Structure formats: C-alpha cells, structure tokens
Structure 1
Amino acid sequence: MSRPHHLGPSVSRHAKKCLDTPQDISKHWYNLSAYLDSMNSHFDIGQHLIVTVLEPYRESHSKVAAALIALDEPHKRLRIFLFEPTSAG
C-alpha cells in the first residue's frame, strides 16, 4: 500500500478516537488538511507515471485494461469526494 493510501485509514482511525476538545479537533484538522494536500501529488503520480505508460496497451492486453479500471475507479470516487464542491443544505 502506498503512503497516501496508508495515511487515509490512519486519519480515519484518528477521527474515530478524536476527543471533542479544541486541541484534539485542531490536531485532527491539521492532519486531515495535510492528507488532502498530499492527495494532489498522489493523483498526479498515478495519472502521469502509471496510466500514461499503460494506456497504449489497454486495447491489446486485457489484464492491463483491468488494472487501469481497478486503479481509476476508486481514485475517481475519491477525487470527486475531495475536490468537487458540494452544495450545502
């Protein structure tokens, strides 16, 4: 598991244990913000290094096509969650 993938569950576990105090909330918010910032780099690496190299083989190799789908689907959902604005209320 890559570092960004490992940090996501770690931040989630911390949120579950976070006390309802200003200090704990502030610490968690800092860690969450740092994690979200790091995801930009993670997506860039995945897109530019992995997908760009494998994309020409998508049509001719079914395992490459399956790997690209497996890589893209969770990242697409996470990208939507992290970076697309939501409407409040």
Structure 2
Amino acid sequence: MTPEDSQKLQAYLEAVAAILYQNTEPEKLKTLEGIEQAVRQQVLEHVSPQIGVFLSAKRQEQQQVEADRSLAASENLESQKNKQ
C-alpha cells in the first residue's frame, strides 16, 4: 500500500469510527464489556458485510480473468487447427 493510500485509509477509518461511535448507545460505552459488545455488534452489522462485498467482487473479477484466458486459449487452439 502506498503511503498516500495508507493516509486515506486512516482518514476513512477515523470517519467510520466517529459514525459508529455516534450511533452507539451511551450506556454501552460505560464499561469495557459494553464497549467490546458494541464494537463487535457494529462490526458485524456494518463493517463485515461490506468486506464481504469487496471480497465477492474481487473473486468475480478473478473468475472473469480466468474465463477470458480460457476463451483466448480455446480461440488460439481453434485458429491453429484451422491453419493446418
């Protein structure tokens, strides 16, 4: 990761943390256990699904690249057969 991307990521994470904090019941922030439960709940509800979308999109992209390569290889073989 470039230093610029790292700085952007840090800024986005701080913004996300601020939003999640604002949307957490103040009562939950009074004890370490409450904070842990609130963070876990927020991550499961809001952060993890987005990570899943990212990973799913990345996998689909990889599958498309593999399919394109396979198609190109098939077309190349067909072309060679036609030349013979």
State the TM-score, normalizing by the size of structure 1. 0.33
Relative to the length of structure 2, the TM-score reads 0.34
**Larger relative contact order (Cα-Cα within 8 Å, sequence gap ≥ 6):** 1
Q: Greater CA radius of gyration, 1 or 2? A: 2
Q: Between Structure 1 and Structure 2, which shows a larger proportion of helix residues? A: 2
